[in-house]
Amino acid sequence: MDKDRVIGSAKVVKGKAKVAVGKVLGDAKLKSEGQADKVEGKILNAVGGIKDAIREA
């Protein structure tokens, strides 16, 4: 498993937490940061998946 996949998964979790806290506190900035973290994490996870597929080929 590529390290990008691990980092990406962690960013997705971090983003979900930020979104949840932002909703509770009514903080739109925190919610948007959380959404950005989630997207970045998903992209890193996809890049890591591609790297894994290339290594296996």
3-state secondary structure of 22: helix
The 10s digit of each residue's pLDDT in 4-53 is 999 999 999 999 999 999 999 999 999 999 999 999 999 999 999 999 99
What pLDDT is attached to residue 1? 81
* CA-angle at 33, arms to 17 and 30, nearest 5°: 70
Domain that holds residue 49: 3-56
